[in-house]
Amino acid sequence: MEPIFHVIADGPKPVAPYSHVVEVDGWLFVTGQLATGRDPKEPLPPGIEAQTRKVMENLRVVLAHVGAGFEHVVQVRIFLTDFACDYARMNEIYLEYFNAKKLPARTTVGVTHLARGGIIEIDLIARRDPAPSITSDGE
């Protein structure tokens, strides 16, 4: 099955050359999201709470575009620029988006810098039933 490359016109504006999601056989590889919006000149919200919520909402928009939600997420990677300071509060907000009995696998790492001066970035992998193939004659 050929990959499908999704760039979401009404989603967060990419800060680099990438697709928001690459889909292969129901697997959804979602590019890391920052706390950005549709306007690249808009400043990032201040603080880990606001940035975490914005990142998670960006991920919600991206997932919804491909017919998925947080319930489909199987793996998450989180990047924090101030791990020691922001880890606990980020976790509290993160848990608001997932079923506590069905948490995805996860890796969280401290990094020295993120694009646009962000303090958090999250990427993920999700899985849903593959979209049906449509041939040119509609079958």
- Summarised one tens digit per residue, pLDDT across range 52-91 is 999 999 999 999 999 999 999 999 999 999 999 999 999 9
Using CA atoms, how far residue 16 sits from 31, 40, 110, in Å, is 11, 11, 21
For 20-24, 47-51, 135-139, which range has the lowest pLDDT when averaged over its residues?
Answer: 135-139
In this prediction, residue 16 carries a pLDDT of 83
Quote the pTM value.
Answer: 0.89
- DSSP bridge partners of 121: 79
Q: Enumerate domains of the chain plus CATH numbers.
A: 4-127 (3.30.1330.40)
Q: Does the CA dihedral 20-33-54-91 come out positive or negative?
A: positive
